[in-house]
A and B are shown apart, each in its own frame.
Chain A
Amino acid sequence: MKTALLTALLLLASVARADDLLRVVEILDGIETPRDEPIPFVEKRQSQLLAEPLILHGHVSFSRDGVLAKSIDRPFRESVLITGERMELERDGKTRRVSLDKRAGVKVFYAGMRALLNGDAHALLELFDVTTEDIDERWRLRLVPKQDELRTFVEKLTISGQGSQVLTVHTDQPGGDWQEMSFTPVSD
């Protein structure tokens, strides 16, 4: 069974090395995702408009039906719901819907996160060229979108973690903008 899965994955990930593949499956298998539970995060966002990154504090949660909810508590309050096709921004009691077709950056981020948290190596390898790196006890996944079009929005996603926990998700965009979301390790 596992051989069949690996063969399928190998076919998908023609450029990736076989040992990378094994490691991807291993890492994804090991990740624990608390569902419907708010996970505290700190996010740094750098834009070409900013002299220094914007630092945000808040919570994210992933529902079982795949909805990613992000709520920012500081320095201002803002909340976002992301589903497969769209995101909804809530501000001053008004909701604005944004189609992800035109927000490919968010779409790539969401797709990567969803595959990762579902432990879905197949989906991950279908969308990204994946390489792995291990430094001490930490692992790192480097995801580069396979589609040229998507790479015009996201150059790469770098996800690092330790054991079963995801620690940071770093998104690099063309033009120098980047975002890095860090999750506070859940104490055992």
Chain B
Amino acid sequence: MMADRRQGTVSLLVPFGWAVVTLLAASVIWSRLALTVDLAFFLPGPSTEQEKVLMDRLGQGPGSQLLFISLHGRGQQELRERSRQFKSALVDSGLFSTVLNGQEEITRESIPPVIWNNRFLLDDIDWTVAGLQAAFDRRLADLAVLSGTDISELIAADPFFSSIAIMERLAVSNLVRDAAWIDASEGVAYQIAESIAPAFDMDAQSRTVELIRATARKLGDDNVDIHGMGAYGVGLQTVIRNEARYRSLLATIAIVLVLLAAYRRPRLVILGAVPLMIGGLVGLAVVTLLFGTVHGITLAFGFTLFGVAIDYPLHLFSHARTQPAARAIDAIWPTLRLGAGSTVLAYLAIAVSGSRGLAQLGCLSAVGVLVAMYATRSLLPMLMRQQDATAHAAASSRQAHPVRLGHAAWLAVLLLGMGAVIAQGSIWTNDLSSLTPLSPDILRKDRALRVALGAPDIRHLVSLRSESEEQALRRTEYLQTRLEQAERDGLIDDARLVTQILPSRRTQQRRREQIPDTRTLQERIDAASAGMPFRDGAFTEFIEASKAAKKARPITAADFEDSVLESFVDSHFYFDGAHWGSFATLHGLSDPDRLSEWLSRQVPDATLVDLKAASESLVSNYRLRIHVVLFVAFVLIAVVLLWRLGTGARLLWVLGTLASAIVMTVALNALVLDDLSIFNLIALVLVAGLGLDYALFMSRPEKHSEDSRQTRHAIRVCAASTLVAFCILAVSSVPILASLGITVASGVLLNFLLAWLGTTPRKS
């Protein structure tokens, strides 16, 4: 009686406990989970100076806030008008610091106050009589073609046109031919808009993109094309969300069909989802608590990796077909625990592989697998009914017998796979873009647009670092003079540096001292304009402004806050907490090696950073680190297996089968996919987890032929359900999801075949 009651209490307590855990996890997710699609999330920590620059600049570098917009229309006239209206709507929205459509020019109103007020300190001016004379000559020529009050006022206050010269030097795209902006034959007008929101601020970017689309729709273009990091992030968020939803629905339906076919009991299908659901929720809740923000890919990938846990209830169901569930779980528990424990080790290895994204991924799947395993152990047998067993086999107390294991299959596949891998040479890609879920087509179009519209080279920049702000600016000024020489030598077309609008204090002081006093200036103006038709007093405003500039306080980076030039200053000049750094962006760099070599002689403290090379070394170091971590995980798993299985044929067979499946998967994937990325490597960890599960179960000593039949049934169902789910992923439009699907699907098939062919079931 007492024992029954205790049994009853326990059987109530366990489901209740799991329900509480599930609810707690759900409430944590509901209240705390924030999603991100920040592209830098899966990148590792930088180790070299170049990699550091790369990481600093990713998502906030010069050009990262630029959106390239292709507006459609018919004919030159309609396109020009549409482009004009579109630009003015974008400017009015206040979401952009700059909007360019090729129709702009520099006028007095377009010069930011910070430039206008400091124009005599931002430009080298020849204040001599000859200098003034040359300037007056040019202004007379301007008056020969331009007229109007604004031109007269501009000349009267700034006869050197310093303010115009400064703005012209900064123009985002001053190299662009007019024709590049409107292509009537293609029916496209291009615009460049620089969003105020940073590229990684997804909420703000999605508002920005929506405004662009709505504005285009209002003007009659429903198909406006938007390129640029911000737009990609927004597009990606939508695509990933849609794809994840659609593919997971399809995969779920497919798995349900497989399970229904295997067990013919809808109840079991629902029960099978219980450990998975609890594990998923708890895993996600733990990640939410540990990290706060969770990456979209962590979700998609994490649930995939953790999908290995669906095998656990399946083993139970298959073995419970001929015996009560409680006895079945006792029978399979040692093997289940060993398989799941080893898988958790591999997943934890991913968690320490070096990036926030992977840390989340490993954590989510490790916790998920662990929880699902215990839920399968403690909860499922209670929820299963006697009827769930289709037939009852007599309880057996006979000695378990080892399974006959064949070593030829795995050995042959391992040798073949290794040969294929070696023959293919380099199979891993070092392209950083392989870590972004963007399609190569989009990245190619992005580069082409940047080149066509004269945006700065986003691959190369010159980096300088100094101890102090003033020192950094002085070195940048020196770099500026050398880059001007590089321009004359034909090494580059143009360069942008912060000192073009923010000179060092020393330079500002020198320029201030060069401004003549009012009387001298008046005398020089009189001398320079002798014989010219300028009226007396025409340049009074210029004299007043010069007088004010002589007394003005030095201009600093803070003076650019809230101006249209703020993002220019921010992206070319920074303080990282210890050093002041400055970047020069380059236009028209044709021979990076020559410039790099030239710079090392001319400005030894400046480095030409090749962001692509930096990203490649970053990825390759990253992969090396993952390889090392995974190797350590493999050794750990081997140690655990050694401990549980002891030395002998079974250990050799399990490790050999696992290794051969992985090596062959790598070989096949390298053949089918162009390059393998770190994500394929991660997918291989799942393949290893599944392979371990199959190999351990297939090789476990069995008590009778019925036992062996159920094991083989379970493995068939496990492999079939995983295979259909990943085949559905393999045809996804998101490249990394597709690539993941292909890797896992092929790996599962190999795991299954090797485990199947390598064992001979006991005959009754």
Known: A50-B534, A53-B533, A101-B84. A177 touches B147 (CB 8 A): yes
- Distance A51 CA – B538 CA, assembled complex (angstroms): 9
Q: Is B396 in contact with chain A by the CB < 8 A criterion? A: no
Which residue among A43, A51, A56 has the maximum number of chain B CB atoms within 10 Å of its CB?
A: A51
**A-contact 0/1 string along B517-539, CB 8 Å cutoff:** 00000000000000001111010
The count of chain A contact residues (Cβ–Cβ below 8 Å) is 36
Those of B88-118 within 8 Å (CB) of chain A? 103-105, 107
Known: A97-B105, A101-B84. A56 touches B144 (CB 8 A): yes
Contact of A45 among B104, B143, B149, B538 (CB under 8 A): B143
- Distance A50 CA – B144 CA, assembled complex (angstroms): 12
Q: Is B314 in contact with chain A by the CB < 8 A criterion? A: no
Whether A48 and B105, one on each chain, are in contact in the complex, defined by CB atoms closer than 8 angstroms, is: no
- Distance A98 CA – B762 CA, assembled complex (angstroms): 90
- Closest beta carbon of chain A to B102's beta carbon, Å: 9
Q: Is B145 in contact with chain A by the CB < 8 A criterion? A: yes
Whether B104 and A51, one on each chain, are in contact in the complex, defined by CB atoms closer than 8 angstroms, is: no
Whether B143 and A49, one on each chain, are in contact in the complex, defined by CB atoms closer than 8 angstroms, is: yes
Q: Is B137 in contact with chain A by the CB < 8 A criterion? A: yes
Closest to B145 in A: A80
Those of A49-78 within 8 Å (CB) of chain B? 49-54, 56, 70, 72, 76, 78
Q: Is A173 in contact with chain B by the CB < 8 A criterion? A: yes
Whether B533 and A105, one on each chain, are in contact in the complex, defined by CB atoms closer than 8 angstroms, is: no
- Distance A101 CA – B103 CA, assembled complex (angstroms): 9
Q: How large is the interface on B (under 10, 10 to 19, 20 to 34, 35 or more residues)?
A: 20 to 34
Q: Is A16 in contact with chain B by the CB < 8 A criterion? A: no
Whether A49 and B141, one on each chain, are in contact in the complex, defined by CB atoms closer than 8 angstroms, is: no
**What residues of chain A lie closer than 8 Å to B103, measured between beta carbons?**
85-86, 99, 101
- Closest beta carbon of chain B to A100's beta carbon, Å: 10
- Distance A96 CA – B172 CA, assembled complex (angstroms): 16
Whether B149 and A50, one on each chain, are in contact in the complex, defined by CB atoms closer than 8 angstroms, is: no
- Closest beta carbon of chain B to A173's beta carbon, Å: 6
Q: Is B597 in contact with chain A by the CB < 8 A criterion? A: no
Whether A98 and B149, one on each chain, are in contact in the complex, defined by CB atoms closer than 8 angstroms, is: no
Whether B105 and A47, one on each chain, are in contact in the complex, defined by CB atoms closer than 8 angstroms, is: no
**What residues of chain B lie closer than 8 Å to A43, measured between beta carbons?**
144
- Distance A52 CA – B536 CA, assembled complex (angstroms): 11
Contact of B178 among A70, A87, A97 (CB under 8 A): A97
- Distance A98 CA – B106 CA, assembled complex (angstroms): 9
- Closest beta carbon of chain B to A95's beta carbon, Å: 9
Closest to A95 in B: B178
Whether A54 and B149, one on each chain, are in contact in the complex, defined by CB atoms closer than 8 angstroms, is: no
- Closest beta carbon of chain A to B111's beta carbon, Å: 13
- Distance A48 CA – B143 CA, assembled complex (angstroms): 11
Whether A103 and B148, one on each chain, are in contact in the complex, defined by CB atoms closer than 8 angstroms, is: yes
- Distance A85 CA – B102 CA, assembled complex (angstroms): 12
Whether B149 and A175, one on each chain, are in contact in the complex, defined by CB atoms closer than 8 angstroms, is: yes
Known: A78-B141, A102-B105, A177-B152. A50 touches B146 (CB 8 A): no
Q: Is B379 in contact with chain A by the CB < 8 A criterion? A: no
Known: A97-B105, A98-B105. A54 touches B144 (CB 8 A): yes
Whether B538 and A89, one on each chain, are in contact in the complex, defined by CB atoms closer than 8 angstroms, is: no
Whether B104 and A47, one on each chain, are in contact in the complex, defined by CB atoms closer than 8 angstroms, is: no
Whether A49 and B145, one on each chain, are in contact in the complex, defined by CB atoms closer than 8 angstroms, is: no
Whether B538 and A49, one on each chain, are in contact in the complex, defined by CB atoms closer than 8 angstroms, is: yes
Closest to A50 in B: B533
**What residues of chain A lie closer than 8 Å to B535, measured between beta carbons?**
48-51
Known: A85-B80, A174-B149. A91 touches B141 (CB 8 A): yes
Whether A153 and B148, one on each chain, are in contact in the complex, defined by CB atoms closer than 8 angstroms, is: yes
Closest to A51 in B: B535
- Closest beta carbon of chain B to A155's beta carbon, Å: 12
Which residue among A80, A85, A87, A102 has the maximum number of chain B CB atoms within 10 Å of its CB?
A: A102
- Distance A91 CA – B105 CA, assembled complex (angstroms): 17
Q: Is A179 in contact with chain B by the CB < 8 A criterion? A: yes
**What residues of chain B lie closer than 8 Å to A103, measured between beta carbons?**
146, 148
- Distance A169 CA – B24 CA, assembled complex (angstroms): 85
- Distance A76 CA – B146 CA, assembled complex (angstroms): 15
**What residues of chain B lie closer than 8 Å to A47, measured between beta carbons?**
143, 147, 152
Q: Is B156 in contact with chain A by the CB < 8 A criterion? A: yes
**What residues of chain B lie closer than 8 Å to A102, measured between beta carbons?**
105, 107
Known: A53-B533, A54-B143. A177 touches B149 (CB 8 A): yes
Known: A50-B533, A52-B533. A76 touches B148 (CB 8 A): no
Contact of B144 among A51, A78, A175 (CB under 8 A): A78
- Distance A87 CA – B105 CA, assembled complex (angstroms): 11
- Closest beta carbon of chain B to A149's beta carbon, Å: 13
**What residues of chain B lie closer than 8 Å to A89, measured between beta carbons?**
145
Q: Is B676 in contact with chain A by the CB < 8 A criterion? A: no
- Distance A21 CA – B145 CA, assembled complex (angstroms): 32
**What residues of chain A lie closer than 8 Å to B84, measured between beta carbons?**
101
**What residues of chain A lie closer than 8 Å to B614, measured between beta carbons?**
none
**B-contact 0/1 string along A149-188, CB 8 Å cutoff:** 0000100000000000000000101110101000000000
Whether B143 and A76, one on each chain, are in contact in the complex, defined by CB atoms closer than 8 angstroms, is: no
24 A-B interface contacts by CB (under 8 A): A45-B144, A47-B143, A49-B152, A49-B535, A50-B533, A50-B534, A50-B535, A51-B533, A52-B533, A54-B533, A56-B144, A70-B145, A76-B141, A78-B145, A85-B103, A97-B105, A98-B105, A98-B146, A99-B103, A99-B104, A102-B107, A103-B146, A106-B146, A173-B147
> Which A-B residue pairs are the 6 nearest by beta carbons?
A51-B535, A49-B538, A50-B533, A175-B149, A99-B103, A52-B533
A contact residues vs B (CB 8 Å cutoff): 43, 45, 47-54, 56, 70, 72, 76, 78, 80, 85-87, 89, 91, 97-99, 101-103, 105-106, 153, 171, 173-175, 177, 179
B contact residues vs A (CB 8 Å cutoff): 80, 84, 103-105, 107, 137, 140-141, 143-149, 152, 155-156, 178, 533-536, 538
Beyond A80-B145, A101-B103, list 19 extra A-B contacts (CB 8 Å).
Answer: A47-B147, A47-B152, A49-B152, A49-B156, A50-B143, A50-B535, A54-B533, A72-B144, A78-B145, A91-B141, A99-B104, A99-B105, A103-B148, A105-B147, A106-B147, A173-B148, A173-B149, A175-B149, A177-B152
